Structure 1
Amino acid sequence: MATDRRGFCDCLRKTLFRGHLTTAQLKGLEAILDGWEALPETARAKAGGDDALAYILATAFHETAATMQPVRETLAPSDEEAVRRLDRAFAAGRLASVKTPYWRYDADGRTWLGRGFLQLTHRKNYQAMSALTGIDLVADPARAMELHTTVAILIGGMRAGSFTGKSLADYFSGGRADFASARKIINGTDRAALVASYARTFRAALGAGLSPEHGNEYQSAH
């Protein structure tokens, strides 16, 4: 069953987006809904249904600073600026957990800095997502900034447990909806309560109306 996108967006506009949704935010939301609804119904159910979808949306909202568009680490406008910002932070000791600066350009001129909805970092993770999505991110890591590609990484990786070994089904199955613990799919317990609060708001928006006949109503009306 498709989401009634008019009711969904109207609800979000009044809550998380503080009265206004930009064209870019709408496109990001639509892309995630499209990616989710393209999955077989059995796959969506196994992952956790609308509770899992709400958490996917909340994760994108949090990791992109509410833009709902793929972003670079540090929210820099270019790879070059992101590398400069990360180098400055590393030199100042603000990245204590980093032993090797993964963002610095390799011999082939590629940088494995964070990109997309999930801040995909390190060559090995780009390799893993290449295998999962069928998109060659190793040859061209910048493709993680493409909307279609980052949606595939977001949904596919969270379903498969690619990032930490924890998957959506670990927290959203059998009627369980553990929004707080689900942060372990991405980043341990960092900002877990905050992302959980976003997920509950997205879940309420998804419940604003479900209509198989009007799944594209929002798009056609705007």
Structure 2
Amino acid sequence: MTSPRALADAQLLWDFHQMHHELRPCSVAIGLGSHDLGVADTTAGLYRRGMAPLIVFTGATSRTTQHLMPRGEAVHYRERAVELGVPSSAILVEPNARNTGENILFSRTLLENTATPVSSVLLVSKPYEERRAYATACKLWPEVEFVSASTPLSFEEYVASIGDARLVIDMLVGALQRLLIYPREGFMISLPVPDDVTSAYKRLIRDGFTSRLVTEAA
């Protein structure tokens, strides 16, 4: 049973990971591959609202998705979006990316190769990956303006959809660790982290929510 304090700390991280951007029309929407088909649903909904004339779905497979999405995350996302009414002509598929950095770099190359003019990108991710995706994109594609988006779910709703509070908290902790250490490795820009969020993060680590942490370089 997850303690009330751990849930409160996780709520702080959940709120921080989201950029809370005001949505506006962009040159293209990029849906970042993952286990969560909700990213495809949200991207399709934004397209139908006129927020972007073109979608790029990006992602290969991972240990998490190889059984759920054997044809690749981007391919399954595309199929889902077409089911939801997005014309196939409005979707480009980037099937090779295996991490967030490759999602951005490979999508950029695909758009350049198709001579698609891009001044702004609607970056669609899982809710707790918004800030990490934004920081990565700003590092790797600095001349473009990014607007972050995700499925509008509360922390409680997302936990219910996954069915495992500990796993969700582990993912929140892992995402924050990367925001803290990846700028030093050149993977993303540095974004300020409030003291209360840092304190919550450290408490959750002490409480054992560590399965998604990466080993830091010496």
TM range (shorter): under 0.3
Normalised to the residue count of structure 1, the TM-score between the two structures is 0.27
Normalised to the residue count of structure 2, the TM-score between the two structures is 0.27
Determine which structure has the larger helix proportion and give its number.
1
